[in-house]
Amino acid sequence: LFIDQDPNEVYRNLQKIGEGGMGVVYQANGPRGELVALKSLDVSLEKTLSSVQHEVRMMKSCSHKNIVEYYKSYIWKGYLWVCMEHMNGGSLTEIISICKMTEPQIACVCSAVLQGLHYLHSFNRIHRDIKSDNILLTVEGTIKLADFGLLLLLSILFVYFFPAIFFPFFFIFFY
């Protein structure tokens, strides 16, 4: 799952482009000069590593036009580095902070997000953290979902073994 190598030997010109509760995101040039995003996470705590492994597995298994593409991941000196597609337009949060979106633009974002969610749901996965920070865009207008840290893999076993928990929750929020 993880390559045991210093990502600074593989990627060049790292520039910090974002920071969140779990880590820092950089843009960098890959081995062939392509622009990539590198997410750096402190995984010195075992609990953090196991939750991040979950996110990496989910990203690795997803392939859809509205889901950020995963490339590789590295573990080095207590940090996990996840290399993924660079979305050069930034997050929806950044975009709405500098300009007002038109109704057709909002509809386009909604459509792309719903297509990405439909893909995840078709594999019994729920994103659980849909927000404007996790909707990324390119300058060409491509819209993709990111940040799978809270992705939940639904299981028939969960419904089977915990119906008293699942069904009241389901009816309260969906009916």
Residues annotated as catalytic (active site), given as ranges: 129
CB under 8 Å to 156, separation ≥6 — which residues? none
Helix then strand then coil, in percent of the chain rounded to 5, is 40, 30, 35
- C-alpha distances in Å from residue 36, one per residue of 13, 82, 113: 11, 10, 22
In angstroms, the CA 29 to CA 6 distance is 15
Burial of 138 (0-12, 13-18, 19+ CB in 10 A): middle
